[in-house]
């Protein structure tokens, strides 16, 4: 992961390579809600756990909302939220995706870590704003002291959306709405359809919060879940598929 992290903060992004699941979940599926064999998922999660240096990954039940849950040692898996945050050591904020945008957060001093799940609904509703504001309060910092990494997601040449999604980001006269228009291209064939740049829209939201340290997904094909079929799961591409994960934790 090409991301400058503070001392004591660690992060990983998994791929579909190296696990125990059979097709169509092959091979390193971490989702226990997609129809995969439960023993394979358990084995894959154990493989992930072995990579976390003693930290415990907490898997959320993600619902395209904006709730940010505070992780503590007793937080169970399947807690309902689309973002999580912690100051406790050895707890890995974890997000699973297969086209939506995963984000990892920390502050310059590494006091707090957080992760968020941003499909277009959560992004439009403010999951990034909720996460950054919560992190800033807990760390006692401003947006300029927040570091963010954007993980792989469906890319701007593959993310076909309708007018409802376009309007959710571009309606109104605010400067953000005008800038968001640049993240949409008319579909070359289908009227009333657009190609959307999810990572680009996230970068606009972060910039509006004063966050300038943003690494990771730059909207190129290398980061597109749909185009990287050998490395990444994609629901839009395959329908029935697994989930990869991103994790961030403090030692």
What's the CATH code of the domain at 214? 3.60.140.10
Closest to 41 (Cα-Cα) out of 228, 232, 243:
243
Separation of alpha carbons 128 and 45, rounded Å = 26
Instruction: Tell me how many domains the chain contains.
Output: 1
Q: What is the predicted pLDDT for the residue at 174?
A: 64
Q: Domain of 40? A: 9-153+210-250
- What is the torsion angle, in degrees rounded to the nearest 10, for the CA atoms of residue 124, residue 125, residue 131 and residue 133? 100
Asked whether residue 228 is domain-assigned, the answer is yes
Q: What is the predicted pLDDT for the residue at 44?
A: 98
Separation of alpha carbons 187 and 4, rounded Å = 36
Mean pLDDT over residues 225-239, rounded?
Answer: 98
Separation of alpha carbons 115 and 72, rounded Å = 14
Asked whether residue 160 is domain-assigned, the answer is no
For residue 105, pLDDT over 90 is answered with yes
Separation of alpha carbons 2 and 125, rounded Å = 29
pLDDT band at 175 (very low <50, low <70, confident <90, very high): low
pLDDT digits (tens, 9 = 90+) for 123-157: 999 999 999 999 999 999 999 999 999 999 999 99
Q: What is the predicted pLDDT for the residue at 171?
A: 87
Asked whether residue 56 is domain-assigned, the answer is yes
pLDDT digits (tens, 9 = 90+) for 15-59: 999 999 999 999 999 999 999 999 999 999 999 999 999 999 999
């Amino acid at each position: 992961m090409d991301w400058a992290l503070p001392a004591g903060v660690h992060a990983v992004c998994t791929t579909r390579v190296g696990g125990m699941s059979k097709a169509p979940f092959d091979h390193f599926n971490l989702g226990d809600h997609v129809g995969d064999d439960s023993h394979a998922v358990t084995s894959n999660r154990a493989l992930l756990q072995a990579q976390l240096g003693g930290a415990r990954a907490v898997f959320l039940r993600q619902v395209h909302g904006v709730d940010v849950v505070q992780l503590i040692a007793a937080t169970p898996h399947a807690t309902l939220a689309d973002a999580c945050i912690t100051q406790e050591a050895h707890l890995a904020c974890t997000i699973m995706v297969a086209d939506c945008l995963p984000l990892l957060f920390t502050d310059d001093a590494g006091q707090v870590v957080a992760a968020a799940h941003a499909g277009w609904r959560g992004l439009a509703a403010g999951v990034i704003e909720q996460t950054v504001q919560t992190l800033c309060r807990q760390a006692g910092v401003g947006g300029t002291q927040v570091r963010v990494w954007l993980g792989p997601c469906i890319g701007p040449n593959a993310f076909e959306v309708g007018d409802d999604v376009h309007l959710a980001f571009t309606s109104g006269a605010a400067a953000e709405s005008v800038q968001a228009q640049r993240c949409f291209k008319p579909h070359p064939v289908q009227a009333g359809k657009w190609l959307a740049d999810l990572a680009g829209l996230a970068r606009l939201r972060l910039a509006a919060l004063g966050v300038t340290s943003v690494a990771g997904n730059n909207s190129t094909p290398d980061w597109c879940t749909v185009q990287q079929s050998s490395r990444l799961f994609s629901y839009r591409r395959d329908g029935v598929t697994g989930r990869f994960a991103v994790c961030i934790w403090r030692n």
